[in-house]
Amino acid sequence: MASLQEQIQQFEQEINSFVPANIAELEDYRIRFLGAKGIVKQLFGEMKSVPAEERKEAGQVLNGFKMLAESKYESFKSLQETTAAKGPAIDNTLPGTPMPIGTRHPLRVVENKIISIFERIGFSVATGPEIEDDWHNFTSLNMPEHHPARDMQDTFYVSSDPAWVLRTHTSSAQARILESQPLPIRVICPGRVYRNETISARAHCFFHQCEGLYVDKNVSFADLKQTLYYFVTEMFGEGTQVRFRPSYFPFTEPSAEMDISCTVCGGSGCNLCKHTGWVEILGCGMVHPNMLRNFGIDPEVYTGFAFGMGVERITQVKYQVNDLRLYSQNDVRFLRQFQSI
Ligand code: PHE
C-alpha cells in the first residue's frame, strides 16, 4: 500500500485540478473528501500506523491537506451561492447596453469647418482674452474715445473698472497679433463675444465670431473677394452667388458687407432671405491705414484685408436654425440633430 505521503500527493493533484461542472459534482466531491467516511477521515485513521517519531510531521502534512480539501470546497460553494443569488448566469454573447455618445455642438461643428477652410489657404488660428482693455477692443482699431462708432456695438463694461470690457468682437485678438507677430500676418480669430442686447430669437448677449486678417505687401481688394468667394464655395457649395454692398466699419476702408444667394430658396424668395433672394453673412474691408499706423506698420508699404462673420449666422443659414436661443438652451433634442454633420 502507498505511504500516507504518497496518497496525499496524489489526492492533492486531484483536488488542484478539480472544477465541478455543476452543484451535484461539488456535492460528490464533498462526500468523497470531507464526508463522514471521506478520504480526509480515512487518512487521519491511518495516522495510527505511522511510526511515533514521524507522526508529528505526518500530522502537519495531513492538516495541510485537510485545509486544501476544505478551501476548494468552500470557494466553489460560495461561488455557487453568489451566482444563485444573482439569478441566471450571465450570457457573455449577448450584445452590451449601448452607451449614448455625446454630439458636437452645432456652433463648434461650424466653427471647425470655418477654421479648416481657412487653414487650407494658409491662415493660422489665433485667440485672445474675452475680457479686453479699451485699447485692443476699440482705440487701436481706429475707434478713439468718443468715436461714434463705439455705439455700433452695445458694450458690457467691467463695473469695477470701465477701462475693461467684455470684448465686442474678436478684432481685439487681431489687434494683439498685429502688436506681437512679425509680418506677413494671416490669421483667423474664432471666439465668443458679448454685446448688451435683449435676448430674443434674433439677438443674444453673447455669440461667436470668426474674424480673419491678412496683412502683407500688395494685398488688394481682389484678394479679399477671391478669399471670401473660396470660403463661400467651400461652406455653402459650388454655384452659391456672392455680392458686396458698400458699408462702414471704423477699422476698414473701403468697407463692405457680403451677401450670398439664399441657400434655402436659391433666390426666388423665402423667409430666410426675407424674400430678397440674398442673405448677409459677413462684414469686411481693407484694413484702415490708421489702424496699421497704430501698430507701427507703414501703410505705404503694407496693406491688408479683414473680415468678420458670426458663427451663429453661418449656422443659421446653413442649417436653417431660426432661433438663436436654441444654441444655449442645451436641449438634447436640438443638439442631437447635428450628430451626423
Ligand atoms: N468686427 C466687425 C464686427 O464685429 C466685423 C468686421 C471685421 C468687419 C473685420 C470688417 C472687418 O461687426
For ligand 1, atom 4, which residue shows the shortest CA distance? 169
Q: Which of 210, 211, 214, 312 to mutate to test the pocket of ligand 1 (most atoms within 8 A of CB)?
A: 211
CA nearest to 144, candidates 152, 134, 153, 156: 134
What rounded mean pLDDT belongs to the chain?
92
- Reading the block at residue 159, the C-alpha cell is 463695473
Q: What is the DSSP letter of 156?
A: P
CA 230 – CA 16 distance, rounded (Å): 75
188-206 mean pLDDT: 94
Task: Report CA(231)–ligand 1 centroid distance (Å).
Answer: 17
- State how far the Cα of 157 lies from the Cα of 115, in Å rounded to an integer: 29
pLDDT at 138 over 80: yes
Return the residue whose CA atom lies nearest to atom 9 of ligand 1.
Answer: 307
- For the domain spanning 106-338, the CATH number is 3.30.930.10
Q: Out of 38-47, 168-177, 242-251, pick the least confident.
A: 38-47
| Cis? peptide before 129, omega within 30° of 0 | no
Does 171 sit in the ligand 1 pocket, CB within 6 Å? yes
Site to probe by mutation for ligand 1, drawn from 137, 215, 251 as the one with most ligand atoms within 8 Å of Cβ, is 251
Determine the residue type at 332. V
Q: Give 85's pLDDT tier (boundaries 50, 70, 90).
A: confident
Residue ranges per structural domain of the chain: 2-86, 106-338
Using a 6 Å cutoff on CB, does residue 252 contact ligand 1?
A: yes
Compute the distance between CA of residue 337 and CA of residue 341 in angstroms, rounded to an integer: 9
The whole-number pLDDT of residue 1 equals 53
Mutation test of ligand 1: which of 152, 249, 252 has the most ligand atoms closer than 8 Å to its C-beta? 249
d(CA 294, CA 204): 32
pLDDT of 184 strictly over 90: yes
Whether the ω angle into residue 184 lies within 30 degrees of 0, i.e. cis, is: yes
Ligand 1 contact via 249 beta carbon (within 6 Å) = yes
283 Cβ closer than 6 Å to some ligand 1 atom: yes
